[in-house]
Amino acid sequence: MKISEILNGLKIYDVYDDAEVSYVTADSRKVCKGCIFVCVKGNKFDGHDFAAKAQKDGAVLIVAERDLGLKNQITVSNTRAVLSLLCANFFGNPAKHLKLIGVTGTNGKTTTAFLIKNSLEKMGVKTGLIGTVKNMAGDKEYPASLTTPESFELHELFSDMVKEGCEYCVMEVSSQALAQERTAGLHFEAGIFTNLTQDHLDYHGTFENYAYAKSKLFASSSLCVLNLDDEHAMSMMRDSDGRMVTYSANRDEADYTAKYIRYKNDSIEYELVTLGYVERVRVGIPGEFTVYNSMAAAVTLIELGFGFSKVLYALSLSEGIKGRIEVVPTDTDYTVIIDYAHSPDGLENIISSLRKTAKGRIITVFGCGGDRDRTKRPIMGAIAADLSDVIVVTSDNPRSEDPEEIIKDILAGIKNTKVKKIVKTDRTQAIAAALNEAVKDDTVLLAGKGHETYQILNTGKIHYDEREIVRGLLDGTIKV
């Protein structure tokens, strides 16, 4: 493919040699012969500083936001947005052959996306998936490193979906991806807003910036499905001309409401009510948040034209998602649950949901990630202490920070509480302490890791699967 073909649709008047292109990248480490190198300024590095070396290493075109005095360079106002458009052109704009459904919010993105994909496929519609746990083109699976991939990988996935015959793609859309223009140029048949609570302030700086980044999804969505029980729902429409549809478990003015909700150990049930329709919903995933996630999925599919009853039946066939209120098989008289909750709202939701059905005590094991928003640490400590019977404070992904300093931040929120607390910096020791503490009918919640099968330490990433840890501790193959 020639440079001129990849620049198609952009108003570029610079003079350049129309060479063949092998690759498009903004990562100086991935520069190769025949590639286009896009200079993107990040928090730590500025791609403009690597442009001359990229050209020397074989880049046939440099895309920058200022004149660098290099041969075969073009200048644009926003390299992040242009990167996405170039990657789309490189793969022949595969997203135009897919119907995209985007899900954004602090919590619930993964479960909502899985519920939509599973429901569509139960209705005979081949669907791709992009998200935190994994990426899928129909039945083909790919590992996921980011909630929303970088532009080149994103459009490569779209291309694979088209080749596999997918009609829809449902994708989690993170605030970072929206802020970094990874979705620039994409049109969404539907955008879904789940909720908004404190998270990622280490990246966005302020909650207002975080909220604004989320709202960018709806500026490119034809249908906007919003959780009306979240106070930030209407702010998502600030730049949107899309058709708005709302759902709620508490407010009758919403377009769709959940009535007569029943919580069970292995499922939730409620009546989905809208003008002219009332039907019972059952989803085999426990927890209060499942009401909201399943409503978001059902409302979106119904509003996209799939039949009311057909959607709810497909939804009832959906299974649980790895790392989201996942029950770990154990030969014990207590229950062990793994959940990805790693924000204040997420932790509150999971413990509150377990409280509705738990027969015994709730023992919560949790930590906070290093090199991330420090302000949420004491908040999460206070939430865990307030809602749990026993808490075990430990490490999550400490990254470059001292795990004990992170724990100190957490404990600052627990100073005036009477809850029984155990502190174990080593996560395996923390899990062992929780299992030793548990008696009949107790629930041990391992919060924060969820689907992750690794831990990020200051020495790098190591394999760490909590399912294996629990099994090893219980059968004696792991000693602490």
Question: Topology of 326-475 in CATH?
Answer: Protein-Tyrosine Phosphatase; Chain A (3.90.190)
CATH 3.40.1390.10 in the chain is located at 3-79
Contacts by 399-408, CB closer than 8 A, 24 or more apart: 399/369, 399/370, 399/371, 399/372, 399/456, 399/457, 399/458, 400/370, 400/371, 400/458, 401/370, 401/371, 401/458, 403/367, 403/370, 406/367, 406/368, 406/370, 406/377, 407/367
Task: Identify the bridge partners of residue 454 per DSSP, sorted by sequence position.
Answer: 463
Query: CATH number for the 94-316 domain, one of 3.40.1190.10, 3.10.105.10, 1.10.10.10, 3.30.470.20?
Result: 3.40.1190.10
pLDDT at 200: 52
With beta carbons less than 8 A apart as the criterion, state whether 105 and 196 touch. yes
Its pTM stands at 0.84
Torsion angle (degrees, nearest 10) of CA 233, 236, 238, 244: -80
Using alpha carbons only, what angle is made at residue 449 by residues 151 and 205, rounded to the nearest 5 degrees? Answer: 55
> What does the alpha-carbon distance between residue 138 and residue 311 come to, in Å, rounded to a whole number?
19
pLDDT of residue 199: 57
Torsions phi, psi of 244, nearest 5? -95, 135
Interior angle at CA 68, CA 62 and CA 70, nearest 5: 60
Measured distance CA(165)–CA(126) in Å, rounded = 7
Delimit the CATH 3.40.1190.10 region(s) of the chain.
94-316
Within 123-174, where are the H helices? 151-163
Q: What is the CATH number of domain 3-79?
A: 3.40.1390.10
pLDDT by 10s per residue, the chain, length 480: 999 999 998 877 666 788 999 999 999 999 999 999 999 998 788 999 999 999 999 999 999 999 999 989 999 999 999 999 999 999 999 999 999 999 999 889 999 999 999 999 999 999 999 998 899 998 899 988 778 889 999 999 999 999 999 999 999 999 889 989 999 999 999 999 999 985 555 555 688 888 999 999 999 999 999 999 999 999 999 999 999 999 999 999 999 999 999 998 778 999 999 999 999 999 988 888 899 999 999 999 999 999 999 999 999 998 778 888 888 989 999 999 999 999 898 899 899 989 988 889 999 999 999 998 899 999 999 999 999 999 999 999 999 999 999 999 999 999 988 999 999 999 999 999 999 999 999 999 999 999 999 999 999 999 999 999 999 999 999 999
Task: Cite the residue boundaries of each domain of the chain with CATH code 3.90.190.20.
Answer: 326-475
